[in-house]
Amino acid sequence: MTASRPVTAEPVGPTVIIGAGLVGASVGCALTAAGWLVHLVDAKASHARVAAELGAGTVTPAVPEEVRLVVAAVPPRVLPGVISDALRTYPNATVTDVGSVKAGVLHSLWDSEPELGRYVGSHPMAGSQHSGPMTARADLFVDRTWVITPHRRSAAAAVDTVRAVVAACRARPVIMDVDDHDAAVARVSHLPHLMSVLTAGRLNDIPADDLLLAGQGLRDVTRIAGSDPGLWEQILGSNSGAVLSELRQVHDQLQVLIKALEQPETHELRAVLSHGVTGTRRIPGKHGRAAVAYSRVVVQIPDEPGALGRLFALVGESGVNVEDIAIEHDQVREVGYLSLSVDPATEAALVRAITDRGWTVEP
Ligand SMILES: NC(=O)C1=CN([C@@H]2O[C@H](COP(=O)(O)OP(=O)(O)OC[C@H]3O[C@@H](n4cnc5c(N)ncnc54)[C@H](O)[C@@H]3O)[C@@H](O)[C@H]2O)C=CC1
Ligand SMILES: O=C(O)C(=O)Cc1ccc(O)cc1
């Protein structure tokens, strides 16, 4: 795997985005904001229209010969057909896609596609549990990894064009082989998705009163389980080999965990929990840097208009840089908890600035 700096974010020429859903419309918004001319196409005309209204481009058809780039942002099952059609319809364009799984698409085009030199796959490692253009954001890819998967037949100019897209979306390019990519996403994306789904699935037959006890941990773990099952059936199905290998390893680990709980005197449970802590520390932090252990300052905020604004103004005045925020709502009391992640060296100053002005910081 190689990581490198963006080369250029300059528009490569008229661009067509096929599939104006969450990812396609977000790419459209980012490229349009960077000065690119983007034409939007979608099997559902209403999606293209909504995306255009949000600033993702225009629904006016492109002149095929003038198009220099096509981004296929459609569900995995239809990707090979859409890419093939695009290579024929736009004879002077580089074609990329944003699909979550890469090897199957390339293999299905390999023997039948004479113009494969103009196709270079890619995969932005950013998105959400939502679908459709309404949830698009121009800043979705900022500072996020965007994998580019060149192959033996891809033209260097086509790779450069995809690098320009990544740069214009202000993401961080990582070059990878399709098989290595698919093995990696099985562990960092597809397995976590399934663990989230299994946890969320356990909630279906729990009494409603018990759900009042749900805290931020449950919300963190289950957020991605809310994703479109139709899309994820396709993602997981097209990477089934690598995902099955992950699941079999988790299956073995579950046996260890069950035994550890059955035999507490062995202290094996402690070892399993510590192994998890080590794993969390390996997740890179912001901008691809090593993860930093931030301090969390949790502030009680009353459920009333303007409270958040007042608190944010105070935090701004304190001069302390906030790395991340999260809000948890108390289901019973009319308060919320704003968690501010900061450099441990600045924690005391922030706590002082907040408590001096009468706010309550959780111990
Ligand atoms: N959802 C996510 O967080 C991420 C998704 N991806 C990948 O991006 C691709 C798109 O996913 P989303 O934007 O989430 O889905 P989405 O459901 O929000 O958007 C897909 C769009 O494609 C359109 N479409 C479907 N078939 C079409 C066809 N044959 N021709 C033209 N338009 C067609 C749909 O009408 C829809 O507007 C998928 O391949 C997915 O694996 C990649 C990174 C993140
Ligand atoms: O919502 C999130 O946190 C995600 O991780 C979204 C996501 C979904 C599918 C991908 O192929 C890449 C990213």
Q: Do residues 140 and 163 both lie within one domain? A: yes
User: Taking all residues of the chain, what is their mean pLDDT, rounded to a whole number?
Assistant: 93
- Domain boundary at 142, 157, 177, which? 177
Q: What angle do CA 191, 108, 80 make, to 5 degrees?
A: 80
Q: What is the mean pLDDT of residues 136-164?
A: 98
Atom of ligand 2 nearest to the CA of 128: 1
Instruction: Report helix, strand or coil for 342.
Output: strand
In the chain, which ranges are E strands?
Answer: 2-3, 15-18, 38-41, 69-72, 94-97, 121-124, 145-149, 172-175, 295-302, 322-329, 335-342
Whole-angstrom distance, CA of residue 165 vs CA of residue 290: 26
| Overall number of domains in the chain | 3
Listed range (16-25, 82-91, 345-354) with the worst mean pLDDT: 345-354
Q: Do residues 93 and 152 both lie within one domain? A: yes
Centre of ligand 2 to C-alpha 355, Å, is 38
Centre of ligand 2 to C-alpha 276, Å, is 21
Q: What is the mean pLDDT of residues 239-256?
A: 98
Span 270-319, pLDDT tens digits: 999 999 999 999 999 866 665 667 788 999 888 888 888 888 888 888 88
Atom of ligand 1 nearest to the CA of 97: 39
pLDDT value of position 343:
85
Ligand number with the minimum distance to the CA of 222:
2
Distance of CA 36 to the CA centre of its chain: 23
Does residue 2 register a pLDDT over 50? Answer: no
- Domain boundary at 252, 284, 316, which? 284
- Domain presence at residue 99: yes
Domain containing 251: what range? 240-284
